[in-house]
């Protein structure tokens, strides 16, 4: 069976209701006649320009190191968004017995400014009056709305480690009646009943055992705030028609691929690929470039093509803007010939080195696209790449050998099988999102 797969816990997690027929472990996004499913659909809101406030507990029960971890969490989440005066805006309010506006959503227009401001936040100390803090957020959100030309989604993320000294119910309900979507993160001794009262529904609440573990949930918080309202509608798949890629399209609207990264495309130019399909691969690469922040201290792209033998199209540091990159991709001519994928993987390794424009100190990715079976051995050269710390995404089209794709990527979560080259457009947002949220330690 051909299809595009995602492990269940990587997409909708506990928010989904999935009934599988013959596919117990995988969520099938390109449906098949032999496996249909139903799931809870989500009504999404326009998240190109949301306002997000963090309401953080600065009471005396929080150790200084834990307060620092909370600030690191906010900074890490900030870097996942496309920040701007007319795009995603972030503000922070701290509370204990009193409430203090650290900075409003309208104050800063870049991630760098927000990062500096968060680092400079000093802890308040004192008690924990979460209810009063939630009540104070009404004015902040009203003011935020006045600084927008049009209505945008508003989100509140509350982080606390203990039980409030006052009631949170009325204030949280009042915020939701204004249209604010409330999320709550409980840490260690937090009262989970109270956390749910703040969030409103279990789907918008999170819990971690300690402040250091906040970094483990940042991706999930982003996923959940991108799914604003659930609907109890169920959808039955129709063979060949169900494509639930709206989730990734939505996320990449505001998750700008701007972290430092080296990305090399390794594309199959063999004779089995029709010229029109070769052009579709070009379109896929150009779309990924369009969704990335290009530069020597941001994202770099390189391009290699292979058939019987590999060929360098351009190195990682060759171009530092989208226009030049897209022009070079457009001008690339197809090689034709056989499919020696193993030799191409071995050839690609050197292009991540500093001598070829690579930055070994940043995250490095190889995205390979092929439509057939390799005529040589792929396992050893692929393993050598992964041992260098290079993360490999394999996209197999039509008759690609799935076993070889697994050998190349080293895991099913980085393998994408699609039915034809037209379906590349459904993969681009998913890969961008995965790269965007990839842990630095991986």
Per-chain mean pLDDT for the chain:
80
The string of pLDDT tens digits covering residues 74-118 is 998 888 888 899 889 999 999 999 999 999 999 999 999 999 999
Of 364 and 427, the one with more pLDDT: 364
Predicted pLDDT of residue 438: 59
| pLDDT value of residue 42 | 31
**Residues 286 and 329 occupy one common structural domain:** yes
* 256: in domain: yes
Residues 341 and 416 in one domain: yes
Among candidate residues 193, 225, 257, the one where a domain is terminated: 225
In a domain, 441, yes or no: no
Please give the pLDDT value at position 226.
Answer: 66
Quote the number of domains for the chain: 3
* Mean pLDDT, rounded, for 26-48: 31
* Co-location of 185 and 209 in the same domain: yes
Is residue 251's pLDDT more than 70? no
Question: What does the alpha-carbon distance between residue 129 and residue 132 come to, in Å, rounded to a whole number?
Answer: 6
Length in residues, the chain: 442
**CA 268: distance to chain centroid?**
27
**38 and 56 assigned to the same domain:** no
Establish if 87 belongs to a structural domain.
yes
Q: How far apart are CA 95 and CA 78, in angstroms?
A: 20
Beta carbons of 379 and 407 less than 8 angstroms apart: yes
The stretch 157-178 carries a mean pLDDT of 93
Over residues 367-401, the pLDDT tens digits come to 999 988 889 999 999 999 999 999 999 999 987 88
CATH of the domain at 126: 3.40.50.410
Q: Rounded mean pLDDT of 158-186?
A: 93
The DSSP symbol for 39 reads: -
Tokens describing residue 11: 């997409």
- Same-domain check for residues 65 and 25: no
Residue 440 has pLDDT above 90, yes or no: no
Q: Where do we find the tokens 């834990």?
A: 66
Residues 209 and 269 in one domain: no
Last residue of a domain, one of 174, 196, 225: 225
Look at residue 231 and tell me if it is in a domain. no
Non-local CB neighbours of 18 within 8 Å, separated by 6+ positions: 8, 12, 27, 37, 38, 39
The reply to whether 194 and 204 lie within a common domain is yes
Nearest to 357 by CA among 241, 262, 260, 216: 262
138 within a domain of the structure (yes/no): yes
198 and 114 part of one domain = yes
Same domain, 63 and 204: yes
Q: Same structural domain for residues 165 and 191?
A: yes
* 214: its two tokens: 């906040």
Between the alpha carbon of residue 280 and those of residues 42, 287, 423, the distances in Å are 30, 10, 9
- SS3 assignment, position 307: coil
Distance between CA atoms of 84 and 50, rounded to whole angstroms?
Answer: 10
Using the predicted structure, report yes or no on whether residue 45 has a pLDDT greater than 70: no
Residue 117 lies in a domain: yes
Q: Is the domain of 267 the same as that of 374?
A: yes
* Domain encompassing residue 57: 51-225
Question: Is position 442 within any domain?
Answer: no
Assigned domain for 94 exists: yes
> What mean pLDDT do residues 328-335 have?
96
CB 398 within 8 A of CB 216: no
Question: Do residues 253 and 151 both lie within one domain?
Answer: no
Please state, for a pLDDT cut of 70, what percent of the chain lies above it: 79
HSE value, Cβ hemisphere, 13 Å, CA-based, for 155:
23
């Amino acid at each position: 069976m051909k299809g595009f797969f995602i492990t269940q816990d990587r997409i909708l997690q506990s928010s989904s209701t999935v009934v599988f027929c013959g596919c117990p472990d995988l969520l099938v996004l390109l449906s098949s006649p032999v496996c249909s499913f139903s799931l809870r659909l989500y009504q999404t809101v326009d998240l190109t320009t949301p306002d997000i406030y963090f309401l953080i507990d600065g009471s005396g029960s929080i150790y200084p190191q834990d307060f620092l971890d909370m600030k690191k969490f906010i900074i890490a989440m900030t870097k996942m968004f496309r920040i701007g005066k007319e795009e995603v805006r972030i503000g922070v309010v701290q509370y204990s017995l009193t409430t203090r506006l650290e900075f409003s959503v309208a104050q800063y227009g870049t991630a760098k400014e927000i990062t500096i401001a968060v680092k400079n936040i000093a802890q308040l100390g004192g008690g924990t009056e979460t209810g009063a803090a939630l009540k104070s957020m009404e004015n902040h959100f009203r003011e935020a709305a006045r600084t927008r030309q049009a209505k945008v989604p508003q989100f509140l993320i509350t982080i606390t480690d203990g039980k409030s000294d006052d009631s949170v119910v009325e204030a949280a309900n009042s915020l939701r009646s204004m249209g604010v979507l409330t999320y709550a993160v409980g840490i260690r001794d937090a009262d989970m009943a109270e956390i749910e009262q703040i969030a409103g529904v279990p789907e918008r609440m999170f819990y971690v055992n300690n402040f250091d573990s906040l970094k483990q949930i940042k991706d999930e918080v982003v996923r959940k705030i991108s799914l604003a309202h659930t609907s109890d509608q169920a959808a039955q798949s129709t063979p060949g028609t169900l494509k639930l890629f709206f989730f990734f399209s939505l996320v990449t609207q505001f998750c700008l691929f701007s972290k430092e990264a080296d990305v090399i495309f390794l594309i199959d130019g063999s004779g089995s690929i029709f010229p029109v399909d070769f052009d579709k691969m070009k379109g896929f690469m150009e779309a990924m470039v369009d969704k990335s922040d290009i530069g020597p201290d941001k994202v770099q792209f390189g391009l290699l093509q292979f058939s019987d033998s590999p060929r360098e199209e351009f190195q990682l540091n060759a171009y530092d803007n989208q226009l030049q990159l897209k022009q070079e991709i457009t001008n690339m001519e197809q090689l034709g010939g056989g499919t020696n994928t193993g030799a191409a993987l071995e050839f690609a390794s050197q292009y991540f080195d500093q001598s070829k424009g690579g930055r070994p100190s940043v995250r490095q990715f190889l995205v390979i696209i092929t439509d057939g079976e390799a005529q040589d051995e792929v396992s050893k050269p692929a393993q050598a790449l992964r041992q260098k710390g290079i993360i490999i995404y394999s996209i197999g089209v039509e008759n690609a050998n799935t076993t070889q794709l697994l050998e190349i990527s080293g895991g099913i979560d980085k393998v994408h099988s699609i039915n034809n080259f037209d379906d590349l457009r459904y993969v681009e947002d998913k890969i961008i999102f995965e790269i965007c949220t990839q842990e630095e330690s991986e």
